[in-house]
Structure 1
Amino acid sequence: KQRQTYEIIDPQDIGLNESVIALTARSGRAALVHRLELLGYDLTQEEIDSTYEKFLALADKKKEIHDYDLLYLVGDIDRMKQQSIALKFLQVTTGTLVPTATVVLKFGDHERMSTATGNGPVDAAVSAIKKLINEKVVLAEFLMQAITRGSNDVGRVHVQVECGSRTVHGFGAHTDTTRASIEAFLDALRALNVTEKIEEED
């Protein structure tokens, strides 16, 4: 049986909003539906029934059900997303230097490159991506789940991104945790249908 290790970063430590209260087996169907609506899911009655059954089964094994658990439960429900943004290239430089990231994004049939610095590799890469889109977005929550399965640990990352009054969630998974983080960020940007900024020097 695979072991799962959760590394949850305290939101207040990095200036994020407080995490919402977890659900339990006693929360009931209405609480589950309400939470799924907050996460951006408008499910049919059939999808709600299916998800509620999975929720109860998971709640039997796990005391608290967090948002990232719910998103895995509904993960097999197809969401139509525009695959308009894809990561083509990512390179980060850390160590004694100022963390720097270079990203190449594919917007439809063409590519754009951007470079930025930051407090760390993920922050630098996020900043580089922000330069390429019109919308002002805020990374409001960051959670990493490390799955221990031998030497090739896979990091799963869940992010919450805000754009005006909208809040969406994104996911990424990769053996490189920086890559997983950026894939999760791009996943959220696709859900927001962000648009490419016209190429011009700031």
Structure 2
Amino acid sequence: MKTVNISDVTLREISHLADAGLGFNKIIKIARLFDQLGVDIIDCPPIENLQEDSLLLKSLAAVLKQSRLAVPVGVTAEQLEQTCAALEKTPDARLQVMLPVSTVMMEYELHLKPSQLLELTRTLIEAARNHTNDVEFIAEDATRAREDFLQEVVNTALDAGATSVTFCDRQDGYLPYEFSAFIERQLANIPRLQEVPVGVQCGSNVSLAEANSLAALDAGISVLKTSVIGASGICNTINLARLERLRSDLPIKTRLEATLAEHLADQILVLATPDSERSPAAVSGKGLPEATAEESEHVFTSEDGADTINAAIQQLGYTLNAEDQLRVYEAFQEIAAGKSVSLHELDVIVAETSMQVSPTYTLEHYAVTETSAGAFCQIRLGLEGGILEGLGSGNGPIDAAFSAIERIVGHRFELDDFQIRAITQGHEALGEAFIRLRYKGLLFSGTGLSTDIIGSSIRAYVNALNKIANEESIQSR
């Protein structure tokens, strides 16, 4: 029985949607579910913000037990170096070189001639191999390319060090028997494809993604790119849940948890689907599961009772004692008297109001240095009349600051959520940082205010750290 690896493109494919609304926390939740489901590779969006994306990728890698991350390197040397810098703390990630190979898209997207694309392919893959031993070459519009040129590009990619190859049929350009013959020709005419994993990503514009994917499996490929929102009109790719339903009738095996596949895929679907795209005609074929308060952006008013608010707090992942529940509800009522309160705003209220403890640690000083080699941060924390000092490094100043704090306390906390927002305007605008750390299964949130986003981020971390220290003190009594 053939083993087939699953590479899911959900996060990458929806990243271009303006209303996707995938914050730090949602992305981590989705990745956890993919990991639990048994997906082999999670395809991530390209790097856009080095500082934020570095933190996100490091946090994702920390929570994954089975799945691995894959990140596109872009099409320039600068984009590739930025991607590699973001993955400095994520050494097991795969790098992806994604390039159009049809004449039209080569010239329209990249303004390159065939000879120039061959050189770009070689340059990007060789540079990527300097950072990792796992580089995937993705021919984005393989079925629209001249086959002799496609084979030349793939051979160039393999010569440069590509360790896997994916052929994309984004437009449903072939019927299943035609696609099977196409794959067979590539495997026959590029002998070295027998030495590396070969995958496909099939479009579903005319509902042929499943049929073409199965035809490709029969032709000899071993990797399928899927999506939980596949065939939805948002992402034209074979649907993960449908594939799992078909798998029992096929001579293949995957790491997907068969008994959990549809349930977990539905949970991911709710998190990943933009609100404007949600409809009963959802991907699973049965309609969307009922949205939770977080996904439906439920708002609360002054008419909501304490039981309702406490239930929402539990849904956010907090475990509060009766005193903190009362304190949060009173703070909520003060705000709700003049406006409705969103779930995110309730999250901030919990962070600012609950578990208000006398600080175990106080921020005394911090200094940040950024060089071509990365960022460094020196932090001094006050503890019981003494001073603790730590030096951390990272891909950005905030990453370095968090690393310095972790060195001081001797523990690396799981970052569950991290957000920065401006709360006033102008040159001296105040910025608020919100952070949520997971420790021994519990969530501890903190907030920090400063005209400096690095300072507000450090203060938020220390705020959450003090709540953890207080909890440890209570449990040790």
- With the length of structure 2 as denominator, give the TM-score of the two structures: 0.34
From 372, 378, 383, give the equivalent of 1:102. 378
Q: Cα gap change, 1:68/1:127 in structure 2, threshold over 3 Å: closer, same or farther?
A: farther
Secondary structure of the 1:161 match is strand
Tell me how far apart the structure 2 counterparts of residues 182 and 32 of structure 1 sit (CA, whole Å): 29
Q: 3-state SS of the aligned residue for 2:309?
A: helix
Q: Note the alpha carbon deviations across 1:13-64, whole angstroms, 9 max, x for none.
A: 624587944431379433311233433433458646634534643554x6xx
CA distance in 1, matches of 2:468, 2:329: 27
Q: CA offsets, 1:124-183, max 9 Å, x none?
A: 011111011144411211011202332201110110001121211001000010010000
Contact 2:435–2:460 under 8 Å retained in 1: yes
Aligned amino acid, residue 67 of structure 1 = H
Unaligned residue ranges in structure 2 (runs of 5+): 1-20, 28-52, 61-270, 273-293, 473-477
Q: Which moved more, 1:93-102 or 1:179-188?
A: 93-102
For 1:24 and 1:92, the matched residues in 2 are separated by 39
How many pairs were matched up? 184
The 3 A distance-change label for structure 1 pair 187 and 48 is closer
Q: Indicate the SS of the match to 2:359.
A: coil
* Map of 2:23 onto structure 1: 10
Q: State percent identity of aligned pairs.
A: 18
**Does residue 57 of the first structure (1) align with residue 337 of the second (2)?**
yes
Confirm or deny: 8 A CA contact 1:85 1:107 kept in the other structure.
Answer: yes
**Structure 1 gaps, min length 5:** 1-7, 196-202
Query: In the TM superposition, what whole-angstrom CA distance separates every residue of 1:51-107 from its partner, at most 9, and x where no partner exists?
Result: 4534643554x6xx13344433784x5744141111111111125341111111111
Structure-1 residue corresponding to 2:450: 174
Q: Which amino acid aligns with 1:31?
A: T
Find 2:419's aligned residue among 103, 118, 143: 143
Partner of 1:39: 318
Change (3 A) 1:88 1:49: closer
Please say if residues 54 and 73 of structure 1, whose CA atoms lie closer than 8 Å, have aligned partners that are also in contact: no
When the two chains are superposed, the root-mean-square deviation of aligned CA atoms in Å is 3.2
Residues 105-114 or 177-186, more deviating: 105-114
Q: Distance in 2 between matches of 1:78 and 1:139?
A: 19
Pair 85,25 (structure 1): closer, same or farther in 2 beyond 3 Å? closer
Q: 1:68 to 1:122 in 2, by over 3 A?
A: farther
1:124 aligns with 2:400: yes
SS at match of 2:409: coil
User: Separation in 1 of the partners of 2:354 and 2:345?
Assistant: 17
Structure 1: which amino acid aligns with 2:337? A
Residues 40 and 9 of structure 1: CA distance in aligned 2, closer, same or farther (over 3 Å): same
Query: Is the Cα–Cα contact under 8 Å of residues 328 and 350 in structure 2 kept in the other structure?
Result: no
Cα gap change, 1:51/1:174 in structure 2, threshold over 3 Å: closer, same or farther?
closer
Pick closer, same or farther for the CA change 1:137–1:49 going to 2, 3 Å. closer
- The partner residue of 1:67 within 322, 329, 344 is 344
Instruction: Give the direction of change, closer, same or farther, for the CA distance of 1:53–1:114 in structure 2 (3 Å limit).
Output: closer
* TM-score, normalised with respect to structure 1: 0.75
Identify the structure with the greater helix proportion. Answer: 2
Q: Tell me the SS of whatever aligns to 1:111.
A: strand
Conserved 8 A contact 2:332-2:349: no
Q: Rg: which structure is higher?
A: 2
Which residue in the other structure is 2:298 paired with?
Answer: 23
| SS at structure 1 position matched to 2:389 | strand
Measure, in 1, the Cα distance between the counterparts of 2:322 and 2:308.
14
Give the number of the structure with larger relative contact order, counting CA–CA contacts within 8 Å between residues 6 or more apart.
Answer: 1
Match of 2:357, SS state, is: coil
Q: For 2:351 and 2:409, locate their aligned partners in 1 and report how far apart those are by CA, in whole Å.
A: 28
